[in-house]
Amino acid sequence: MSETYFWLIRHAAVAESARAYLYGVMDVDLCPHSLATQGAIYRALARRMPRPAYWVATPLSRTARTAEGIFQAGYPAVPLAVEPGLTEQDLGEWQGLPHAELPPKLSRPAPVFWPLAGDERPPGGESMAAVVDRVGATLERLASEQAGHDVVVVSHGGAIRAAVAYALGIGADNALHLSVHNLSLTRLERHPTGWRVVCVNAPAGEE
């Protein structure tokens, strides 16, 4: 098995109205203001991404729209494969709830950055630990299918945290402490002997 190189980009900021509630796997719009004012970031990503590369988005339109913004900024447009295994955490019945209306903590204190501990599952949804397993299995499959190649993944904050947690072999609670900004770059490498983390949450054009 040859090395596989992953370039993970978190999608652009969502519309301000969506930020007021938990949207999880809901299909929400991107912020028009951000799209209009962040051209320099898109151009930096277009220059930074490897050529050629296999491009992946998730079923949620905010990832495909972000990829299209990078193409419009100068990266030669390529087909986008859709990978459900790399989508955001499913928050089940909590999706659409304003942050102020979240139920009390389920069983034990959660990290200050997220309302759920890593192994807690919202009703009808999935835990962060389950996301780590799901994302890890998808990355392993892609690493095998695209061995020796670069893979650009436009995904979500939760899924990228899960990818780093899987690569490092750390728990889901630890993953929730990782900061992953919109349009930031996280790089992972799958070697025959294991995973390597190159950078996390790097601004476009930096490592």
* CATH number reported for the structural domain that contains residue 73 in this entry: 3.40.50.1240
207 within a domain of the structure (yes/no): no
Q: How many domains does the chain have?
A: 1
Q: Does 87 fall in a domain?
A: yes
Cα 205 to Cα 73: distance, rounded to the nearest angstrom: 14
Structural domain span for residue 109 = 4-202
**Tens of pLDDT along the chain (207 residues)?**
699 999 999 999 999 888 888 899 999 999 998 888 999 999 999 999 999 999 999 999 999 999 999 999 999 999 999 999 999 999 999 898 887 777 765 555 555 667 788 998 999 999 999 999 999 999 999 999 999 999 999 999 999 999 999 999 999 999 999 999 999 999 999 999 999 999 999 998 654
Q: Is 73 among the domain residues?
A: yes
**Rounded distance between C-alpha atoms, residue 189 and residue 169, angstroms:** 14
